[in-house]
Chains A and B, each alone.
Chain A
Amino acid sequence: MQSEFWEECLVDLQTSFDEQQFNTWVRPLQAVTENNTLKIFAPNPYVADWANKNLSEYLTKKLENSKYSFYFEVGGISQKIEEDAPVIQENKKDSFKEEVKFSSDFSFDNFVVGKSNQLANAAALQVSKNPGKNYNPFFIYGGVGLGKTHLMHAIGNNIIKQNDKAKILYLHSEKFVGDMVYALQHNKIDAFKKFYRSADALLIDDIQFFAGKERSQEEFFHTFNALLEGKCQIVLTCDRYPKEVNGLDERLKSRFGWGLTQAIEPPELETRVAILQKKASSIGTNLETDVAFFMAKCIQSNVRELEGALRRVIANSQFTGKEITIAFAKEALHDLITLQNKLVTIDNIQKTVADYYKIRISDLLSPKRNRSLARPRQLAMSLAKELTNHSLPEIGDAFGGRDHTTVLHACKKIVEICITDNKIKDDLINLRRRLST
């Protein structure tokens, strides 16, 4: 419980400082009285230092005729509900175990599968059914907000479902680095090794953050080997293909490729629609298909942004009591849509495609029909149809005055080619990503 005396001080101090100072420096302080001492905790040394300089005089005067003394310390207070007794907590932990977080919210059941992620999903499911066997390590890579972390947690949840005693460790790579630094500083490296090497499955997110951290990579390398030898499952995610991560030890890059490496691509329109509808239904909202299509067309970059937009539409609907229609979603996402339209223009598409294929914009607009120009032109027209609200005749006009049937043909052609030509398919995905992030 916060000291009553401190509550009294806060009332005084609120009138002595302006709101910015009060909220930044005074509000975060927490106090507890113990053995005639007022212990005042600050979240970090900065705040403690400021408080010491600016509040000591006030507190000395305030406690002048009492038996109490005071001091400032970095830390905090947590409440034991059942005892009503304050418990002092240090910001740094003593055991690595305490801070390992593993979420049960992400499962295979609530992962929406589409063309962009079906292989990764199938492989993840296999890994979770046979941990430590065929696909070890399992490496998932792809852009931000596409579901890598979701799959990682789903693997962990499935392993636990089959063996509730399994020790699954999920952590962000930065946490591994932080723990190791802490272990080195506090002479606890043996405890660190023992803890991480005793896992049945180690799931590390965003390993690109290992880049440039040589000592952590070295330690991770040994942990990795120990776990692999012990047939423990390792799952890693990264924002790019392992060989493309600069600043990562070559030995690690090579080991990451020993098991199975699987990409997740940005979801296509139908998958985005399914994600929106599933998410809406999970929070008790019915999202009509036409509205879901409208939103999915507007937001193409990643799933997080899509979920953010859905949250906004639902919040607007809850607070106004209005039904979610296309017009309502358009109004709720007005600023986002306006900006999106400004960002993805035909000009921008032409420039991006020309840069990508190292050709001139004038070539895209010219009547030349050789394949090295025709294919990028068809891709650009197809992207203009997909990413902008321009009509086919407008798109045709913007590409050197071509007929709208030419645009239509280009769109169909690109769909057909993508089925058989992986190179063009990859180009389309890359261009879409460049244009929508």
Chain B
Amino acid sequence: MNQLILPYQKNIKHTFKNLYSDSNNILIDSVKNIFLDDNNQIYLWGDKNLGKSHILYAACNHFSDIKKKCVYLPLKDYDLFNTDILDGFENYDLVCIDDIDIIYGKSDWEYSFFKMLNNILENSKKIICTSSRSLALENIILKDLHSRLSWGLVFMINQPNDTIKENILNKIIAEKEYNISDDVCSYLLKHNNRKLSDLLDMLHKIGSYSLSNNKKVHVKTLSNIIDF
């Protein structure tokens, strides 16, 4: 009989130090230096599971420590609020907006966000947004919003190299206490799609299997759990 897996979230403080990054150093430096720069906005885009939310949490933690007023809003939950949630954000030193692309194409949200962005830029406050796609590909109704977002620093978040990917997988195994043998990660990297988001999905599937069956997963038993 399978064991019931209880929802369990370790509350790890996200920092710039515990962000795995190799080719994204310039964008991390830009975020860290946002208060030293004339530029008031940064737009980060890239595939899921590349650490976009991590960067925003790390920015909130980092700048709150130096007494900057910070606020974070995950727009993937936009249907839980209405656009009034953005009210008053222009009074914060740093506004972090996660998954901004969710509101593109929704005129009321675009307009409210546009107003907030204007206020932030007029008051020389700072804003960092994340998105899953490049601005060039987004279908934004409000052209003014599109052009204002393009005005700041725009960075694509790169896929990490294989060594970093393996480190990330091993770190998650340790954090989630999955019972997985050491050679599984390198096997996954060699024998599968090496996109980090796909690797993570696969790892969680294997990890859940190991916990619910209370069994260590080895390379030779992988084929019972996932299709290659």
Give the B-binding residues of A (Cβ under 8 A): 14-15, 17-20, 23-24, 27-28, 30, 42-47, 74, 76, 89, 91, 101, 143-145, 172, 174, 206, 239, 283, 301-302, 304-305, 307-308, 311-312, 315-316, 319-320, 334-336, 339-340, 343, 437
Contact = CB atoms under 8 A, between A and B. Distances in A.
A27 B67 CA distance: 11
B214 interface: no
Nearest to A302: B147
B204 interface: no
B26 A43 contact: no
Given A239-B143, A283-B38, A315-B39, 18 more contacts: A17-B11, A24-B71, A28-B69, A28-B92, A30-B69, A43-B89, A76-B88, A91-B88, A144-B143, A174-B118, A239-B144, A302-B147, A307-B151, A311-B153, A319-B26, A320-B26, A336-B136, A339-B134
B70 interface: yes
Contact of B88 (A20, A24, A74, A304): A74
Contacts of B115: 174
B11 A18 contact: yes
**Pairs A-B, 8 closest by C-beta atoms:** A43-B88, A23-B72, A145-B147, A44-B87, A144-B147, A28-B71, A304-B151, A305-B150
Interface residues of B, number: 50
Contact of A43 (B9, B92, B146, B152): B92
A343 B135 CA distance: 12
- Between B73, B89, B115, B150, the greatest number of chain A beta carbons within 10 A of the residue's beta carbon is seen for B150
B151 A335 contact: no
A315 B147 contact: no
Contact of B122 (A101, A302, A320): A101
A304 B150 contact: yes
Given A43-B71, A44-B84, A343 B136 contact: yes
Nearest to A306: B150
B134 A308 contact: no
Interface string B7-40: 0010111100000000001100110000000110
Contacts of B137: 339
A27 B87 contact: no
B9 A18 contact: yes
A17 B86 CA distance: 22
A275 to B, nearest CB: 13
B25 A308 contact: no
B146 A91 contact: no
Interface in B57-78: 57, 60, 64, 69-74
B222 interface: no
Contacts of A27: 60, 64, 70-72
A353 to B, nearest CB: 21
Contact of A91 (B87, B153, B155): B87
Contacts of A45: 84, 87
A308 B71 contact: no
5 contacts: A18-B9, A27-B71, A47-B85, A174-B115, A311-B39
B53 interface: yes
B148 interface: yes
A152 to B, nearest CB: 14
B112 to A, nearest CB: 10
B74 A311 contact: no
A23 B56 CA distance: 9
A46 B81 contact: yes
A339 B137 CA distance: 8
B50 to A, nearest CB: 13
A87 B147 CA distance: 36
A300 to B, nearest CB: 12
Interface in B63-114: 64, 69-74, 81, 84-89, 91-92, 96
A206 B70 CA distance: 30
Contacts of A315: 26, 30, 39, 153
From A18, A23, A28, A304, name the one whose CB has the most chain B CB atoms within 10 angstroms: A23
